Structure 1
Amino acid sequence: MRIFSIVVILMLLVSMSGCMGSNQSQTTTTTMDRLASIPNGAVKITPETDAFPPVLHSNEWEAPVPLEGPINTAGAEDSPFVTPDGKNLYFFFTPDVNVPPQKQLVDGVTGVWWSRKVNGKWSEPVRVVLGSTESLDGAVFILNDTMWFASVRKGNYGEVDIYIAKFRDGRWTDVKNAGELLNRVYDVGELCISPDGRTMYYGCGGDICMMDYVNGSWVNPREVPNINSELNEDQPFITPDGRELWFTGQSRLGYPGPAVFRSVWNGSGWSEPEEIISNFAGEPVLDAEGNIYFVHHFFTKDMKMIEADIYVAYKKKS
């Protein structure tokens, strides 16, 4: 059973994603469509009104804050991916987490959105249409000119399949299903690929697995040693230098909801994971400077989810 953020939020409604240039353009809807789609009276949570603010357990980063600029709204921003240069942000957006996925499929705004950092500021996000307007797309990962993403659409091998798109002539195109091997045989969940393109890390039934790219095919699927526990682990990310494995897991320190973990390559394997950010934090992705971008879900004290924002913890300057 694969665990995708878009499925968790849209279908289950419980809390438990390389290098591109900065000159990208996309197929888009207008920004006003996104804002206008948010229900009247939707509650925008702020750090001051957050019942479970993110808790940082490391002095390597500044305290987590909502990502600045026009990214976060009273809707749900989720599943971030940031290119290593820190100039392109992809995220999943849906205007109302309480709307059934059948309605989100045709609302014209739910899906993948993109913002570019220009002169130090994030631009107004625009929607990325990935081959089909009748789909629920999210969980983006990009390596070089290839985007991997999760999608609910007709023709899938399962409920949620992995798809691939190519960046050509300033847009994402050549969208295709990643194939039966990954989607039916291996049942790959949210994934990332090492910077050298040789190893895929992915969610596999509440654990994190890996496999190798050999002679044009993905082979040798197995659990990642020293990472998994009796709790859930998912949504892995390898840093641009290939030296750190980050992932989402249930808190091992007693905090509610998911937490962000880090493991470091020691030359022969991954170190014991360290819980870095707790309290409904997940789907970490880091740029080349070591800044941590993640999704933070806002919950009431009686554990009802309200919305979600993209947060960032900036790496302290040495």
Structure 2
Amino acid sequence: MPALKFNLFRLCLSAGILAAGLGIAAGLAQEPGPGEDVFAAPPSEAENKGVNLGPNVNSEFSDFGPVISADGNFLYFTSDRPGGLAGQEFWVSERVNGVWQPAKNLGPPVNTPGDEGPDVFSTAEDALYFTACNRSDGLGGCDLYITRKTKEGWTAPLNLGKPINTASNEVNASIDATGAILVFASDRPGGLGNYDLWISRRAKNPIGAVPLLPEHFRWGTPENPGPAINTPGWEGVGFLLPDGKTLYFSSTGRGGLGKADIFKSIFDGDNWSKPENLGEIINTPRDDIYFSLPGSGELAYFSSDMRGGRGREDIYSISLPFLIPRRLVHVVRGFVRDGKSGGAVAAQITLLDPKTRQDFAYTESDPETGAYQIIVCKSEAELVVKAKRYQTFSEPMALAGQAKMLILKDVELVPLSK
């Protein structure tokens, strides 16, 4: 692996096949029905071949940590190539007519002369959690941050603060589909190894209260799951499935095929199951890093230093049907308009669980165009749209058996009588 400016940051991005990076934008699954397996049977070893994304994405330098959008058309990743401010930075490539376009530097305020790399999108895919190191507002060497995309561009990154970040290093965030559980790696005191996985749960928003944007979430004190997950070795990356119970993580402390192998454990409400090694189809002796899935589940994206690449590490796509959940998220996209004039409306869009009435996803429409996008990770939901001077719109959504990932839903709001 290449020498990097901040080795602690790179350590948590550089070992084994890391199942993190799947993230909210990464092919979120629904819970399987009774007796239904989430995954297909593993492919043969001959099928486990990655396809290099080519020179528009990869460079002669280090390109790693892909995070793919739910529609599969935008790929965010980290690179230390020239053309940016310095260090490891965010880059993004758009896929147009099936072809990845030349990657562009995301620029400030997200990128700085320090090191930063994408971790996971929020449920509505309008916010991005990421790791950044040595920033002036940091609490430790590396901290977790969030930035939100608006019509003006990405907002100034906000440090997640205490109790998530400490004077130690916090890296590689992963969140469940509802944005209620945050998993990350840290070398803070109280762990078993040099890096452990820690889990924090978000305080529930009171029923009926105005939904909070991701940067205003209130996170609880992180808990260490103990020896059920962590070891005296290194557990540097975890990925939590949308159910909030199934955890994939990378570990050097449990033996295996390479420097770090990927394991799977399931939480039954009280205890984590014994971690299961995913085996040689996934785990290798080389550095195969960060899987990310689009909402369609067609391909996985990962980075590797395998032979034949363009640079130190390249980004690849691969078909892994046994790792890809059969049930995927749905992306709801449309416009919020005035029912009389047809003009754009700035509105608050919320998804509620129809049984508990608890909100599990929130976004806002673009005030200039009325456009919105929100990701549904449940088979049933209630779409609620609110705006000043308009009647509230509410409509149930039954998505069980819905084959299409993309659902187009325009909303016309009725103005209140003056």
**Is the radius of gyration larger for structure 1 or structure 2?**
2
Tell me by how many angstroms 1:74 deviates: 1.8
Against the structure 1 CA distance between its residues 9 and 162, is the aligned structure 2 distance closer, same or farther, given a 3 Å change threshold?
closer
Provide the residue aligned with 1:129 in structure 2. Answer: 107
1:175 maps onto 2:157 in alignment = yes
Higher deviation after alignment, 131-140 or 252-261: 252-261
Provide the residue aligned with 1:248 in structure 2. Answer: 250
Taking only the aligned residue pairs, the percentage that are identical comes to 22
Tell me by how many angstroms 1:203 deviates: 0.7
Q: Distance in 2 between matches of 1:116 and 1:269?
A: 42
The answer on whether the counterparts of 1:140 and 1:148 sit within 8 Å (CA) in structure 2 is yes
Tell me by how many angstroms 1:127 deviates: 0.9
Q: Distance in 2 between matches of 1:13 and 1:234?
A: 5
The secondary structure found in structure 1 opposite 2:305 is strand
1:312 maps onto 2:317 in alignment = yes
Against the structure 1 CA distance between its residues 160 and 134, is the aligned structure 2 distance closer, same or farther, given a 3 Å change threshold?
same
Provide the residue aligned with 2:60 in structure 1. Answer: 74
Against the structure 1 CA distance between its residues 268 and 149, is the aligned structure 2 distance closer, same or farther, given a 3 Å change threshold?
same
Provide the residue aligned with 2:415 in structure 1. Answer: none
Q: Distance in 1 between matches of 2:186 and 2:138?
A: 18
The secondary structure found in structure 1 opposite 2:60 is coil
The answer on whether the counterparts of 1:248 and 1:283 sit within 8 Å (CA) in structure 2 is no
The aligned amino acid for 2:233 is: L
Q: Distance in 2 between matches of 1:13 and 1:219?
A: 23
Provide the residue aligned with 2:117 in structure 1. Answer: 138
The answer on whether the counterparts of 1:264 and 1:270 sit within 8 Å (CA) in structure 2 is yes
The answer on whether the counterparts of 1:191 and 1:200 sit within 8 Å (CA) in structure 2 is yes
Provide the residue aligned with 2:303 in structure 1. Answer: 295
Against the structure 1 CA distance between its residues 261 and 233, is the aligned structure 2 distance closer, same or farther, given a 3 Å change threshold?
same
Q: Distance in 1 between matches of 2:306 and 2:6?
A: 17
The aligned amino acid for 2:43 is: N
The answer on whether the counterparts of 2:292 and 2:300 sit within 8 Å (CA) in structure 1 is yes
Pairs aligned (count): 264
Against the structure 1 CA distance between its residues 259 and 297, is the aligned structure 2 distance closer, same or farther, given a 3 Å change threshold?
farther
Provide the residue aligned with 2:287 in structure 1. Answer: 280
The structure 1 residue matched to 2:132, chosen from 132, 141, 151, is 151
1:94 maps onto 2:80 in alignment = yes
Unpaired runs of at least 5, structure 2: 16-20, 27-40, 188-194, 205-216, 327-418
The structure 2 residue matched to 1:163, chosen from 145, 158, 164, is 145
Against the structure 1 CA distance between its residues 256 and 67, is the aligned structure 2 distance closer, same or farther, given a 3 Å change threshold?
same
The secondary structure found in structure 2 opposite 1:157 is coil
The answer on whether the counterparts of 1:15 and 1:258 sit within 8 Å (CA) in structure 2 is no
Q: Distance in 1 between matches of 2:248 and 2:5?
A: 19
The answer on whether the counterparts of 1:191 and 1:202 sit within 8 Å (CA) in structure 2 is yes
Provide the residue aligned with 2:400 in structure 1. Answer: none
The answer on whether the counterparts of 1:286 and 1:293 sit within 8 Å (CA) in structure 2 is yes
Q: Distance in 2 between matches of 1:264 and 1:72?
A: 35
Give the TM-score normalised by the residue count of structure 2. Answer: 0.54
The aligned amino acid for 2:65 is: S
Tell me by how many angstroms 1:248 deviates: 2.5
CA RMSD of aligned residues (A): 3.7
The structure 2 residue matched to 1:207, chosen from 196, 215, 231, is 196
The secondary structure found in structure 2 opposite 1:71 is coil
Against the structure 1 CA distance between its residues 236 and 203, is the aligned structure 2 distance closer, same or farther, given a 3 Å change threshold?
same
The aligned amino acid for 1:147 is: L
- Higher helix content, 1 or 2: 1
- Higher strand content, 1 or 2: 1
Q: Distance in 1 between matches of 2:97 and 2:258?
A: 38
Tell me by how many angstroms 1:60 deviates: 7.9
Q: Distance in 1 between matches of 2:141 and 2:131?
A: 10
